[in-house]
Amino acid sequence: MAGLFESAGGGSAAIALDELEASILRSLEVQMLELIGPGPGGDGGDPLAALFAEGPTEAPADPALARLFPDAYGDPAEAGPADEETRAASGEFRRYTELDLRARKREDALHVVRALDALGGDGGVVKVDASGSGRWLGALNDLRLTLGVRLEVTEEDEQGLYELPDSDERKPLVMAYLWLGALQESLLEAITD
């Protein structure tokens, strides 16, 4: 996979994706949407339910979701009995912020899916204007964080990912993880040129 972002001037960027790259990126974003889940009121998006909805007060049990929606005040797994006040503050913060954060992450992923859908199932050039670059960066970051958690990647391990044998069952996910990192980096460079 070689498609990387290039500057299109004025804080915008463009990327040429072949059919396989577009398909993989779209599939990953759809899986991200499934992981994040529907908003308040379900898939119908009942505006009244969303208006009165409060978020959860506990961190998600899924490690990938916990990475996407971390506690505001420390790691609950490291908290001791004396940290009850910190846990309560984290729960209160989560209660009032997580739904908005989830909505933003859903919107970022949908933005990318729609851009890829505009290619009509084929490869092609996707143009990202200056206002959409933040959504792309957010969506790519969320994918990379999620894959990193699923692969149990640490800073020490990252160099070893390049040396995985082809027989390693993690290889396809590692390739996607590394590609997403290259996409992020190239997009950042493109919009700052």
pLDDT, tens digit, 9 for 90 and up, residues 84-110: 788 888 888 888 889 999 999 999 999
Contact 6, 190 (CB under 8 A): yes
Contact 149, 177 (CB under 8 A): no
Quick one: pLDDT at residue 96?
A: 86
For residues 91 and 72, give the distance between their C-alpha atoms in angstroms, rounded to a whole number. 9
Contact 30, 110 (CB under 8 A): no
In the chain, beta strands by DSSP E = 5-9, 12-17, 124-128
pLDDT at 132 over 90: yes
> Which pTM does this prediction carry?
0.87
Contact 33, 110 (CB under 8 A): yes
Return the minimum-mean-pLDDT range out of 63-67, 72-76, 172-176. Answer: 72-76
Quick one: pLDDT at residue 156?
A: 78
- Supply the DSSP symbol for 156: T
What the block records as the tokens of 124 is: 């092609």
Contact 115, 2 (CB under 8 A): no
Return the minimum-mean-pLDDT range out of 21-35, 43-57, 101-115, 174-188. Answer: 43-57
pLDDT at 79 over 60: no
Quick one: pLDDT at residue 78?
A: 62
